Structures are given as structure tokens and as C-alpha cells.
A and B are shown apart, each in its own frame.
Chain A
């Protein structure tokens, strides 16, 4: 960042909002930003162990949408058109599968970019960035991402074991 721009931003920032921009304050040692720990994702209720739940959801996404095939494939050599043709199907079916089994909802059902209050929201479900006061709490701010939460996890029972998808053999 060049010095003139830093000077201007500091000047106007102090003039209009009374504080230094967070990045400049940090760069010049006026404040210390403590990196916020990402809220730990609420663990899905394991049926017998966390690994089983992971295998189960991947297995469903592979079975219904072939998501594992897609994620594990090296697609660097293929054209955007080729990737695009395949992704449309995979995305649509993954989404349908998620809607069927997880019931995903936004954490805050607001408009991204609008001022949003944090009141009444669990601290684990909201992440504050920007000009966060030392208390770590703020009455509100601009909603940058609505977040996601799983209202309901209702995975179908699958055979135990670590096979995500069985190998398929076509008998001639």
C-alpha cells in the first residue's frame, strides 16, 4: 500500500468515523487483531462414530449425484465447456440430495449488504470481522454472508463399512 493512499485513508477515516482503518492500525502497531477462531461446526449426531457419518453423507452424495467422482477427478486438463456440461448435473443432484436429507437454512435470513443486528444470536453462529471492539461484541454490522445451518439431519441408513460406493461390474 503506498504512503499517500494510507495517509488519505487514515485522514478521512478519522474525520468521518473517528477511528483508523483496521488494516492501517494493525500495520502501524496501534491495535492488535486477534484472529478469531472459526466456530466449531456442530458435530452431526454420530450413529456409531464420526467417521461413519462422514462416509454416510459422502456415500449419499456419490449415489445420488456422483459428487465424490467429481471432487476426486483431476479436471485441470479439461475445457470449461467440458467441465460445465458435467457440473450442471452434479450440482443439481447434489443440491436435491442435500435438500432431502439435511434441510439447510441460512443462519440469518436477511439481505446481504444490509445492516443487521446481532442481538439474540448465539456467538457460535455469527463471526464478526472488521472493526470489532475489544469486548469481541458488536450490536450489528453489514451482513456479508448469511451462513448455513442444518435444521435437520436425516440420513438414510446405509450398510456399515468404509465403502462409499461399490465397484460396478456389468455382466455381459
Chain B
């Protein structure tokens, strides 16, 4: 079997191809492994993705329950291990997590945590397939921006999880392969020699921009990575969180930590529905009373489509000039929290700065990747902003705008 693992900052997934099938087809079926995980107290269910969260409770939990419970007890919750793995400002092999636990409670290193998430996937594989993951060819994706140390630590984590035959593949390359595999006819038509493709990958908590130069001779297509942006700690979760803050302000009441966590989930799903459906005017939000007064404490409000659009389009994808730089970049409010989070949520400004740093590059096409870009309206917006600012070289209709959504299915052949 050939196995691809997307070890994500917020979600992980494992996909595989049967090598016997692969011998007979150019692009054999890619299967995604259903990963059993605790989803609520005392309840194990299988999901296509494994949230990359670890919760140190009465036992160690990885997955949905770890994420939900972690929101209630941040001092026992470990998230974004991948971002810690690529953070040069800390000793990445030291026991620094959970970061919120302060001294004494920090018991695991970013490598340990990554290994535990991979081990969970390896166990799920063994249970489902009856073979060891160590016996398979495994391709693990890493951001193109990962430095040498982050790559080595990723390999170390994979070894710790029992993965032996390992190849690292850069995420933008994986997205590119995946697009070609999923849309062979279209990709053959639209890729031309010398074409510059921007891979725009915005996930739950991170953004990565990469430029890829296509070289083509008849049916033979090669590509070279020409520029890699900084690994930005900014993603769809920031949008959900901001929306939850706005709604909390509308409710006009201070919520408990449990209510806040429930509100965030509701806001995330309301956002998805409102962005996906142009006819949906608003979504009701109900926050049940936190104490034993359930009905009396229930708060009700709604999120309108306009509110979500304004936040998503003006807040996260605003129109910008070529020369725009992300705002207040050096005085991030979050610096002291350990992870170098960005303070300007405008993805488009970060993108403009990246293209400027790549010698004022003008891409011919964009390849969208990551969960943030599931709503078509957000992909369209990035394209519109780029067109308006002259960041594009071509006319609108001919862009091979495409998307591969999370979980990323890694094409291997």
C-alpha cells in the first residue's frame, strides 16, 4: 500500500492507494481512512479527519473529544503542535506543551505530540487494514516553509510512531499533484510551459503561499518551486473566533467558558451555511443557559449573511494595493503567548507582501487549498482582489482556478 498522511495544524488525515490497483491505472482510487476516535465522553466514532488535538485527562485523548474538552480546560490541551515544531524561537525538543499549563504542567515536546497524533493514525490503520503502518510506503506532507530542523523533527516524530519507510512531500506540491490527478483533462488543457501558479493554502490555523513554475514539453509536465512565503499563523479558525466575539457582544452577556466553546461551534457552522447559500438570509444562534437554569438563561440572536460577508470579505480578504503590507506586523498582541501569531487578519495583504517579496511576481493561475476556501465566494474574492490590483496577468475566464479541500488527498504514484 502507498499511504499519504496530512499531518495538519488543526486536522490530520490518512489516505491510501492499493499498489496492486495502482499498477493497472494511471490514477487509482484514493481511499480515506476512517479514524476511530473519542468524540464525546464515553463515545468512540469514526471520522474522516482526526483533529490534531491532544487532551491530557484521565487518559490521553486525540481527536474530536480532545478538541472539545481542550476548549474547556486549556491547561490540559495541546493544539497546533505543528506550529510549535516550526517555531525557531523555542527549543522544539524541550517539554514545552501544553503551553498554557505554565511551569510544572508542561510535560510533552512538540515532537512527542506529533508522534502521538501519528501513532493514533497508525493504530487506526492497523485496526482497519490488519497490517503495520511501518510496513507501508508513507508519504508525509510538510509546509514548503518548514526549515531543515522542522523537517528532521517531523521525521523523528514519524519514527517514534513506528513509520519506517518515509518520504516527505511539500504541501503545495501535494496540492498540485492532487489537482492534476482529480482533474486530468482540465489540467492538461490549462497548464502551459513557463506558467506561474500561485498555491494559496489557508487552513484552520495557518496560511502558506507558494509559487510554482510549470515547464511543459507535450504531455510531460514538470514544476519547480520558485518562492515560498512565511508560514503564517492565520486561518479559518480566526474567522470563527472573531465571529463568536461579535455574537457574544450582541448577546450582551458574559458567557462561561463552556458557553463560549459551544458558541464558537455554532458560529463556525453558521458561517459555513451562510457562505455556501446565497439565499440564506440569516442563521439563528441559541446559547442555552449555562447553569441549572437552562430555559431562563437561554440567549438568542442571529447571524446575518451580511455580517458574515462583511467580516470574511472586508476583514479577512479586503481589497488592497500591490504595495500594501500587513498592519502592525512587529507589535503582535499575541507575541507573549509563545506562538508568533500574526496581528493583521487580512490574508490578501499578506499575499500582496509575499508576491512583492518574490520580485513582484504575477501569477497566471491560482490553486486554492485548505478548508478556508471551501466556500466558492471566498475563492472568487481572492481572484477579484488580485485582478483589481493587477496581480494577475490574464483575463478572468481563462484561470484554471481550482480547489482541493481538506482533508488533502495526497496523490502518489
Chain A positions near chain B (C-beta within 8 angstroms): 63-64, 66, 69-70, 72-73, 75, 77-78, 82-83, 85-90, 100, 156-158, 168, 170
Contacting residue for A89 out of B41, B257, B288, CB 8 A? B288
B300 contacts partner chain A, Cβ-Cβ < 8 Å: yes
A83 & B43 in contact (Cβ 8 Å cutoff): no
| Chain B residues in 8 Å Cβ range of A158 | 42
Contact A82-B298, Cβ < 8 Å, known A73-B293, A156-B42: yes
Considering the chains assembled together, what is the distance between the CA atoms of A167 and B300 in angstroms? 25
Show 24 A/B contacts (Cβ-Cβ < 8 Å), sorted by A: A63-B41, A66-B294, A69-B292, A69-B293, A70-B294, A70-B295, A73-B292, A73-B294, A73-B295, A78-B296, A82-B300, A83-B295, A85-B286, A85-B300, A86-B286, A86-B288, A86-B298, A90-B294, A100-B43, A156-B41, A156-B43, A158-B42, A168-B258, A170-B257
B29 at the interface (CB under 8 A from A): no
Task: Give min CB distance, B263 to chain A, whole Å.
Answer: 13
| Residues from 291 to 307 in B contacting A, C-beta threshold 8 Å | 292-296, 298, 300
Query: Once bound together, how far apart are the Cα atoms of A107 and B300, in whole Å?
Result: 39
Give A69 to B292 CA distance when docked, in angstroms.
5
Q: Flag whether B188 is at the interface (Cβ < 8 A).
A: no
Contact partner of B298 among A63, A77, A85, A100, CB < 8 A?
A85
State the CA gap A90–B296 with chains docked (Å).
Answer: 14
Of B41, B256, B295, which one neighbours A75 at CB under 8 angstroms? B295
Contact between chains at B294 and A69 (CB < 8 Å): yes
Alpha-carbon distance between A159 and B19 when the two chains are bound, in angstroms: 47
Give the shortest distance, in Å, between A40 (CB) and chain B (any CB).
30
Dominant SS at the A interface? helix
Residues 254-310 of B at the A interface (beta carbon under 8 Å):
256-258, 286, 288-289, 292-296, 298, 300
A78 to B300, alpha carbons, bound, how many Å?
A: 14
In the bound assembly, the distance between CA atoms of A89 and B299 in angstroms comes to 13
Contact partners of A75 in chain B: CB under 8 A:
295-296
Shortest distance from the beta carbon of A18 to any chain B beta carbon, whole Å:
53
In the complex, which of the residues B257, B292, B294 has the most CB atoms of chain A within 10 Å of its own CB atom?
Answer: B294
Interface size on B, residues (CB 8 A): 17
Is B221 an interface residue, CB under 8 A from the partner? no
Q: Smallest CB-CB separation from B262: which chain A residue?
A: A89
**A64:B40 contact, CB within 8 angstroms:** yes
Within the assembled complex, what's the spacing in Å between the Cα atoms of A86 and B284? 12
Most interface-central of B286, B289, B295, B296 (chain A CB within 10 A): B295
The answer for the CA separation of A155 and B258 in the assembled complex, in Å, is 25
Are A88 and B294 touching (Cβ within 8 A)?
Answer: no
Q: Could you tell me if A89 and B295 are in contact, using CB atoms closer than 8 angstroms?
A: no
In the complex, which residues of chain A have a beta carbon less than 8 angstroms from the beta carbon of B292? 69, 72-73
Which residues from chain B contact A72 at a C-beta distance below 8 Å?
Answer: 292
Told that A66-B294, A72-B292, A73-B296 touch, could you supply 6 new A-B pairs with CB distance under 8 A?
A73-B292, A86-B294, A89-B286, A89-B288, A156-B41, A158-B42
- A86–B41 Cα gap in the complex (Å)? 23
Q: Complex Cα distance A66/B43, Å? A: 17
Chain B: minimal CB distance from A96 (Å): 10
> B294 — which chain A residues lie within 8 A by C-beta?
66, 69-70, 73, 86, 90
On whether the beta carbons of B288 and A66 are closer than 8 Å, the reply is yes
**Whole-angstrom CA separation of A169 from B2 in the bound complex:** 48
How far apart sit A104 and B410, CA to CA, in the bound complex (Å)? Answer: 42
Given contacts A85-B300, A100-B43, A170-B256, contact A78 B288 (CB under 8 A): no
Residue on A nearest B257 in the bound complex, by CB: A170
A86 with B42, Cβ < 8 A, contacts A66-B288, A168-B258 known: no
Q: What are the residues of chain B within 8 A of A85 when measuring CB–CB?
A: 286, 298, 300
From known contacts A63-B41, A168-B258, infer whether A88 and B298 are also in contact, taking CB-CB under 8 Å.
Answer: no
Taking CB atoms, residues of chain B closer than 8 Å to A89 are 286, 288
Residue pair B295, A86 in contact (C-beta under 8 Å): yes
Q: In whole angstroms, what is the CA distance A170 to B292 when docked?
A: 15
A94 to B300, CA, bound (A): 20
Alpha-carbon distance between A87 and B289 when the two chains are bound, in angstroms: 12
Residue of A nearest to B293 (CB): A73
